[in-house]
Chain A
Amino acid sequence: MQDKEKLNLNRLEANSKRKNIIYRWILYFILGIFVFYYLTPLYVMIVTSFKTMPEIRQGNLFSLPESIKFDAWKQAWDGAGFTGGDVVLKPYFWNSIKLVVPAVILSTLLGAINGYALTKWRFKGDSYIFLLFLFGTFIPYQAILLPMARTLGVLGMSNSISGLILVHVVYGVCFTTLFCRNYYVSISDEMVRAARIDGAGFFKIFFKIILPISIPILVVTVIWQFTQVWNDFLFGATFSFGEAAPIQVALNNLVLTSTAVKRYNVDMAAAIITGVPTLIVYILAGNYFIKGLTAGSVKG
């Protein structure tokens, strides 16, 4: 009897192992197809950035460059080889950093506290208050440019980094609150209730209990906010000064020349350079997508 059982078990194991391997291959195949979809434009961009203009004009979109030269990249960054007057990226990089860091920190913090207050300290009408936040995400930004300009003008902030930070925090808070609130709502209230019984206050619970388990959603929130603020062109172009403009304005100026000769290789290189900080944020933040961060700790 025991032998037959063992045989059956072995066969089952072997079968499931085979099944597993097939599943795995299918898995990687599907993932691979999507990789293709996502990478095609990037491939075109990278390949174009290494070609010379005549090569681009004559050649095939997907063909490899004749030689790997970084000329276009150098031109995009600080203008090596230019005759002057053209826009380059380097001076504006720092402007964006000065803008992004406070904006992301402020809006994320506010979002977390708002989400926490709305879910762990229920009061009458808190769902309606949440709806009020959500409405803010449906406003088309083009529609608020003029009244925003008026407001910033009155506040004396119409041409400054602080004005931009205000704008980004205002519209960011709607999203950060959305993310954090929807995350906290799924987290059991047990811990918070226990802590309140023990006498802990609002902020103590926030910093000691809530924040540590918020890592996944904070990561998502930071990814979103960083991207929105770093990639923003509309607000940056409208509410900031020529030299204090954020990098996306500079990128636009570099790429979208109206009646001048277009240099596609420099454009592609410039876009990739501009996207690097965001990519770094994604890579670093990705380390926090670790499973099991909340398992166990939620049960308390």
Chain B
Amino acid sequence: MFWLKKNLPKLVLVPSLGILSWFVYGFIFWTIYISFTKSKMLPRYEIWGIDQYIRLWNMPRWHVAVENLLIFTVLFIILCIAIGILLSILLDQKIRAEGFLRTIYLYPMALSFIVTGTAWKWVLNPTLGIEKFVNDMGFETFKFDWLVTPEMSIYTIVIAGVWQSSGFIMAIFLAGLRSVDDEIIKAAKIDGAGIFSIYSKIILPMMRPVFMSAIVILVHLSIKSYDLIIALTSGGPGISSDMPAVFMTAMAFHRSEVGLASASAIMMFLTVSAIVVPYLYSELKRENAR
């Protein structure tokens, strides 16, 4: 009985870990295994070698996808966090209609991107949306055709992606801000600190765990980006706005290249882990040192 009580915290984690070990780690190993096979339409289990990886890196489309993932993820994270923090601080100032504004910033996440993507596609299209609107108002030389320009199409995806997710980042920062002890702020005010330095020197540094959550979520959303691209550009013009999740789905389900798709999944997983895990590890070490 005493043993049970003593180990209860660890036991409580067992169900979740048990599920994870199969559904997350088991599946990762399955994917690794399949990436070494010649699986075409359905999984096959005879080992083939590392040819899928060689084929993968010989495909120009994969290179475009990886480059886009990096561009998109970096911009996505920076913009969402910047906007999220800005809005959360602004909303923290005892605004009238805070609830109303909060909902406006948050609602994009609630709507299916299949449809909001169509709306964005129209708005960003030079012959239908903003460019036409501004031109009609008299500014004939205004151009905003990123959507249809191969080099710029990925940036339109950033615009729509930030629109969709920054509200949630605002929400988690707001929750974080609200959990800061009032006494600390009062003490700082008495000491004569201005609002700006209170936020930058005291409150934001306390938000490190929130930053961690935000970055993890944004990386996850970036990796998962499928609807966002399909609805907005179909991966185009051409293949210029392709991303790994789109590539992977196309290969696995529309091109009967399950082995290749698995290789791309593992590459993506490794890339992301290589960048994010050191960050997480150092954050956790920091916390433990407290």
Contacts and interface: CB of A to CB of B under 8 A. Distances in A.
Given A170-B20, A179-B213, A186-B206, A147 B179 contact: no
User: Interface majority SS on B: helix, strand, loop or mixed?
Assistant: helix
A139 B171 CA distance: 24
Contacts of A77: none
Interface string B172-215: 10111011011100000000000000000000001001101100
A179 B181 contact: no
Interface in A256-277: 256, 264, 267-268, 270-272, 274-275
Interface in A26-66: 27-28, 30-31, 34-35, 37-42, 44-45, 48, 60-62
A173 B13 contact: no
B53 to A, nearest CB: 15
A282 B106 CA distance: 8
A201 interface: yes
A127 B110 contact: no
Contact of B273 (A133, A138, A142, A185): A138
Given A179-B172, A217-B175, A41 B119 contact: yes
A138 B227 CA distance: 17
Nearest to A230: B110
B147 interface: no
B16 A177 contact: yes
Contacts of B213: 178-179, 182
A27 B210 CA distance: 24
Contact of B102 (A133, A178, A268, A289): A289
A219 to B, nearest CB: 7
A143 B287 contact: no
A61 B179 contact: no
A136 B15 CA distance: 15
B141 interface: no
Interface string A153-178: 00000000000000001110111011
Which bracket fits the contact residues of A?
A: 35 or more
Contacts of A38: 104-105, 107-108, 163, 167
B43 interface: yes
6 contacts: A127-B287, A143-B248, A179-B213, A231-B112, A293-B178, A294-B181
Please list the 3 inter-chain residue pairs (A to B) with the smallest Cβ-Cβ separation, ordered nearest first.
A271-B115, A121-B9, A182-B209
Given A28-B95, A129-B17, A143-B262, 5 more contacts: A44-B122, A138-B272, A144-B23, A233-B227, A292-B182
Interface of B: 5, 8-10, 12-13, 15-17, 19-20, 22-28, 30-31, 43, 83, 86-87, 90-93, 95, 99, 101-112, 114-116, 118-120, 122-123, 128-129, 132-133, 136, 163, 167-168, 171-172, 174-176, 178-179, 181-183, 206, 209-210, 212-213, 216-217, 219-220, 223-224, 226-227, 244-245, 248-249, 252, 258, 261-262, 265, 268-269, 272-273, 276-277, 280-281, 284-285, 287-288
